[in-house]
Amino acid sequence: MGFLDHLEELRWRLIRAGIAFLVAAIASAFYSEFLVNEVLIRPLKESGPNIQLQNLVPYGQISLYLQVVVFTAFVLAFPFLVWQIWQFIEPGLHETERAASRFMILFISACFFSGIAFGYFVFMPISLKFFAGFGSDLIANNIAVQDYISFFLGTLLTTGLVFELPFISYVLSKIGLLTPAFMRFYRRHAVITLLVVAALVTPSTDMVTQMVIAVPMLLLYEFSIFISGRVQKNRNKKLMQESAS
């Protein structure tokens, strides 16, 4: 394909991805009341009885609903968006790499959804309960709804991207920039770094709470070593077969 043909292919991939996003947005808008009341606000209400959300601008609630719908649509359409990107780059891959495309889409989506689930069911409750119980009883915890939605969506998006570490390790190992030996050599440094990160992102000073955040990240690092090892093993096996032939 020529350069203009590639641009045309990319245009249609983006159009298909946009259509999928639009369909997901329409479905999300239909359930927007449930998403706002039961998914967005419920974790905050369960963290403490003395927390109230406040809308400080005329268009605040409209902006709130739009952000919830857009974010939900992105999460729902994520596998299809990744699939379209993969379909665009697939013609440039080897046959064995093409055969693994379905696995890769599933792998990327599973990592992303696992990160979203971890952020919502683990990190958010721990953080909100700490924020609700911290400070003086003479100060009312009235939170601007825009600040809360930014914290909520930012947390879920961050944890979703952090959980893509195994996939990033796979890609870097595939192109030869990362090896399991390198990751094992710097394992102690990585452990210390991840523990520090867990202590910084966890508002509570409780060690148990910090370990709840740190353990999944440590497991992700070990899983990334395993993935890098598998990639290197397959590469060495392929090189041996080519040299034998």
pLDDT class of 212 with cuts at 50, 70, 90:
confident
At residue 199, does pLDDT exceed 80? no
pTM of the model: 0.82
Structure tokens at 56: 């400080």
204-207 long-range contacts (CB < 8 A, ≥24 apart) are 204/126, 204/130
> 9-13, 70-74, 80-84, 106-110: lowest mean pLDDT where?
9-13
Residue ranges in the chain assigned as alpha helix (H): 3-30, 32-34, 42-47, 60-89, 95-99, 101-118, 124-133, 145-162, 165-174, 180-185, 187-201, 207-244
The per-residue pLDDT for range 4-27, each reduced to its tens digit, is 676 777 888 889 999 999 999 999
Structure tokens at 96: 């064995």
Q: What is the pLDDT of residue 102?
A: 63
